[in-house]
Amino acid sequence: MVEQAGALRQRIATMRDTALAQLQSVADREALEAWRVRWVGRKGELSALFVSLSGFDSAQRPQLGRELNTLKSTLHEELQQVESRLRGDSGAGPKVDASLPGRPRWVGGHHIALQVLDEMLAIFERLGFSIATGPEVELESYNFEALNFPPNHPARDLQDTFWIDDRVLLRTQTSPMQVRIMRSQPPPVRIVVPGRVYRNEQIDASHAAEFFQLEGLYVDRNVSMIDLKATVSHFVQRLFGSGRSVRFKPHFFPFTEPSVDVDMTCFACQGRGCRVCGNEGWIEIMGAGMVHPNVFEASGYDPEEVTGFAFGMGIERISMLRHGINDIRLFLENDVRFLSQF
Ligand SMILES: [Zn+2]
């Protein structure tokens, strides 16, 4: 075995000399590739020497293995040097073509609805509103009863509801937070409540079974419709441009009295009438009104002491108007071709 080990060492030395000498005479990439395959390729001479290691006993194998590894790294280092020399001499320039356009890195971003919501919240925060959020799984008593929807009232039918059981449901509006907030603190109150709501809707281009609302509530002494209109006008002008005006149309909501639908002048035609506004010149953007005395009473506030206004709007709807999006379903489909436009 000692003799055999000596023979292997001899072969290692010979191989080093022969391979390195040959490498010096390599003149082009083709010859370099041939050299690589012969000496350090998977079935090359170096591999054959490693295979022959198995014929040695465990006392000799580690030392011989180390010597073979030294040879291996010597050959690879020299190969690399010749490789880079050839690359530099070939006249073809560097392998990297710096004139190619870079590959854009994939960058995530906020969903368009959240981007618009952030803008909306910023406007109300500057007016002194603070932000509150509440549970999506809500008690029936908060979602309807305390908001002056009596049992079996037809207004409940407008909000087809996902029931968990007789008392618990997926909230159909962010308005239950009006009651939660008023029960938790004395007046005054100035809050906006963003959040997801659920309705058992027939889904189409303008209806989804889940969507986002932004609710607003302002309660203090002597709050009037004028405060409501000033607040809504300011909001619309900040979000849609200073030329917008708003109008109130009488409407019905159980939790406000009087109640209004709020329209703004069409941003596409400046009120002359066009396809965007259905030739009306006006676009409906939210519901609003003065807080109903029954809601104050259910919340522990004295309607003789305080008054207030509330409003609510669909965040997707505002986003659609703001960005010319024509189908609410796009908000939920997570199609990056749509989302990456914003
Ligand atoms: Zn228009």
Q: Are residues 19 and 156 in the same domain?
A: no
| Residue range 44-60: mean pLDDT, rounded | 88
Element (H, E) at 161: none
Residue 313 domain-assigned (yes or no): yes
197 and 246 share a domain?
yes
Measured on CA atoms in the order 138, 143, 146, 152, is the torsion positive or negative?
Answer: negative
Q: Which of 89, 104, 135 is the last residue of a domain?
A: 89
Residue 182's pLDDT band (cuts 50, 70, 90): very high
Q: Where are the beta strands (DSSP E) in 86-236?
A: 130-131, 137-139, 168-170, 189-198, 210-220
42 and 161 within one domain: no
Asked if residue 307 belongs to a domain, the reply is yes
Tell me: do 79 and 195 sit in the same domain.
Answer: no
C-alpha to C-alpha distance for 150 and 132, rounded to whole angstroms: 26
Same domain? For 232 and 180 the reply is yes
Structural domain ending residue among the three candidates 56, 89, 122: 89
Mean pLDDT (whole number) for 258-265:
96
State the distance from the centre of ligand 1 to the C-alpha of 277, rounded, in angstroms. Answer: 4
pTM of the model: 0.68
Mean pLDDT of the chain: 90
| Tally of domains within the chain | 2
Kindly tell me if the per-residue pLDDT of 59 is higher than 70: yes
Q: Give the length of the chain.
A: 342
Pick from 89, 124, 150: which residue ends a domain? Answer: 89
SS3 state of residue 302: coil
Q: Identify whether 100 is part of a domain.
A: no
**Alpha-carbon distance values, 340 to 24, 108, 115 (Å):** 55, 9, 12
Q: Is the pLDDT of residue 193 over 90?
A: yes
pLDDT computed for residue 289 by the predictor: 97
Domain of residue 155: give its range. 112-339
Instruction: Give the pLDDT confidence of 274-284 residue by residue, as tens digits.
Output: 888 889 999 99
- The answer to the question of residue 94 being in a domain is no
Same domain, 116 and 78: no
pLDDT at residue number 229: 96
With contact defined as beta carbons under 8 Å apart, do 215 and 173 qualify?
A: yes
Same structural domain for residues 210 and 278?
yes
58 in the same domain as 138: no
Q: Kindly tell me if the per-residue pLDDT of 246 is higher than 70.
A: yes
> Quick one: CA dihedral 53, 59, 62, 64, positive or negative?
negative
Return the SS3 of 167: coil
DSSP string, 251-297: EEETTEEEEEEEEEE-TTTTTS--TTTTTSSEEEEEEEEEEPHHHHH
Q: What is the CATH number of the domain that holds 135?
A: 3.30.930.10
Same domain, 255 and 314: yes
Question: Pseudo-torsion of CA 64, 68, 69, 74, nearest 10°?
Answer: 140
Dist. CA 41 → ligand 1 center (Å):
74
Residue 123 located in a structural domain = yes
| CA of 206 relative to ligand 1 center, distance in Å | 18
Is 5 or 169 the better-scoring residue by pLDDT?
Answer: 169
State whether 241 and 315 are in the same domain: yes
State yes or no: pLDDT of 326 exceeds 70.
yes
Separation in Å, CA 169 to CA 34, 64, 162, 336: 75, 76, 6, 32
264 domain residue, yes or no:
yes
Under the banding of pLDDT at 50, 70 and 90, the label for residue 328 is very high
- pLDDT for 27 equals 87
Q: What is the percentage of the chain residues whose pLDDT exceeds 90?
A: 60
CA of 269 to the centre of ligand 1 (A): 4
Is 239 a domain residue?
yes
Residues 207-229: tens digit of each pLDDT:
899 999 999 999 999 999 999 99
**Mean of the pLDDT values across residues 196-206?**
89
| Contact status, residue 285 vs residue 321, Cβ threshold 8 Å | yes
At 298 the pLDDT is: 94
Q: Are residues 146 and 198 located together in one domain of the fold?
A: yes
Answer whether residue 220 is part of any domain.
yes
Highest averaged pLDDT of the listed ranges 63-72, 104-113, 295-304:
295-304
273 C-alpha to ligand 1 centroid (Å): 4
**What spacing in Å lies between the alpha carbon of 270 and ligand 1's midpoint?**
6
Q: Based on the domain organization, do 78 and 161 belong to the same domain?
A: no
